[in-house]
Amino acid sequence: MKRTESNTYYLEEAPIKKAIAHLSIPMMLGMSAGTIYNIINAIFIGQVHDTAMLSAITLGLPIFAVLMAVGNVFGVGGGTFITRLVAKREGELAKRVAGYSFYGGMIISLLIAIVAYFSIIPLVHLLGADAVTFDYTRKYALTLFVGGFAIVTNFALEQLVRSEGASKESMYGMIVSISLSIIFDFLFILILDWHVIGAALSMIFANIGSTVYYVWYLDSKSDHLKGFLHHFKLNAKNQMEVFKIGVSELFQTFFLIITTLLLNHYSMEYGDHVVAGFGIALRIAQLPEFLSMGLFFGIIPFIAYNFSSKNISRLKSVIKHAAIYIGVISGTFLGIVYLFKVPVIQLFTTDSSVLHIGVYIVGAMLISALFNGFTGLFTGIFQASGEGMSAIIMAVTQGLLYIPVVITLHHFFGLHGVVWSMTITEVLTCTIGLSLFFFYAKKLSRIENEGVQVSKPS
């Protein structure tokens, strides 16, 4: 079977379990490997035995989130639009969308680098760095911003590759990035002794490697986007189709940054060991979150394709299966890690104060990760279906809720309130997502009934 037939077959005809396996397992493996890299990155820094450095790369997480979000504005927005166009057999427009997404992400990332370069001092203060962590955070942040174009284009192109169901190729790019990351981490951090600058450079060069792979694949091997580099212009109407979905990623990241800054601010009140503990716990909790993300990211092209072609029964079936799988994956991981949380935290640090608080925080983060999987599924469904308003609501809800929750809980319960604020916010956000999904499901039933009526003989 040819590549075109294969990818279309999984979106259009394959049994649901087979389609999910084809589309999601490579994504789950790739994203899990990415999480493992983040853990390894922290372990490499941990080998330097400097808690301030570990705190600095934790404080720098919002920068990576911004760059990833910019890539996803074009990647998620452009990718879901491309899938709907492919379902309608509009291949030429799909190429133009891909070209616009690639070059648009590149230009925006360069503008961000220029602005960041001239405002790095206030930005580092905004990240929450104190006198001990300031210099490390400044070096890490500046290096990430200057090389941010690689992170932006990598995330944008990875989504475009997946837009036509090429999940294995998407995973291959992730593996390229992760492999290079580990090699460069070892070289830059431990051999050349570049510490936090080495950690940032490792990430940049790794993303350049995967970007090169994705460009090669899309421009020479893609089913529908071959030759996309020759396209750049896109009319205003089609640009809006990209941004009405992609902007939800930007809103989500904007509020994620606010969340992180508040978390850093309150954590710093209790010392560097608390900041480092949060950094370790967040990295551990990312594994089940990224497994779930791999699953629902994998089926986004499936949802977009079948929503566009109005194959509602097939669409409902994949959503049901995905929800069950996310519950099993997150629940199983939560149980295993909770049982072995002490030896897991000991992989990162030998500092007894960091170890003690890290064990406490990871319990709350694991519960949060369980609900985060379902929240992400709801958001992915809305994005894939072109439900821009619902996607934006999901994107801003978590951040908007977290602000009053963390302020209130910190006021009444101190550090305990800070630790559990994210978990409580995630539960509330998931509940709102479920409410929005109720209206979405009613819309699907209405479309399905209209299709049945049209198909009846007159």
**Mean pLDDT confidence for 122-148:** 85
Tell me what pLDDT residue 34 has: 58
Structure token pair of residue 208: 């350049």
Tell me what pLDDT residue 453 has: 45
Global pTM reads 0.72
Per residue in 22-65, pLDDT tens?
888 887 776 666 566 666 666 676 666 666 777 777 777 778 87
Tell me what pLDDT residue 56 has: 78
Indicate whether 452 pLDDT > 60: no
| CA-only gyration radius of the chain, Å | 22
Q: How far apart are CA 10 and CA 426, in angstroms?
A: 33
Stated as kind and residue range, the H or E segment containing 247 is helix 236-268
387 band by pLDDT with thresholds 50, 70 and 90: confident
Question: How far from chain centre, in Å, is Cα 223?
Answer: 25
Q: How far apart are CA 115 and CA 66, in angstroms?
A: 13
Per residue in 175-214, pLDDT tens?
888 889 888 888 888 788 788 888 889 889 999 999 999 9
Q: How far apart are CA 173 and CA 196, in angstroms?
A: 25
Query: 194: which DSSP letter?
Result: -
Domain boundaries, the chain: 9-444
Please list, residue by residue across 127-165, b when 16 or more beta carbons sit within 10 angstroms of its beta carbon and e when fewer do.
Answer: bbbeeebbebbbbbbbbbbbbbbbbbbbbbbbbbbbbbb
Stated as kind and residue range, the H or E segment containing 403 is helix 388-413
DSSP 48-114: T--HHHHHHHHHTHHHHHHHHHHHHHHHHHHHHHHHHHHHTT-HHHHHHHHHHHHHHHHHHHHHHHH
Indicate whether 457 pLDDT > 80: no
Q: How far apart are CA 283 and CA 325, in angstroms?
A: 22
CA dist list (Å): 150 to 153, 157, 212, 309, 432: 5, 11, 10, 35, 35
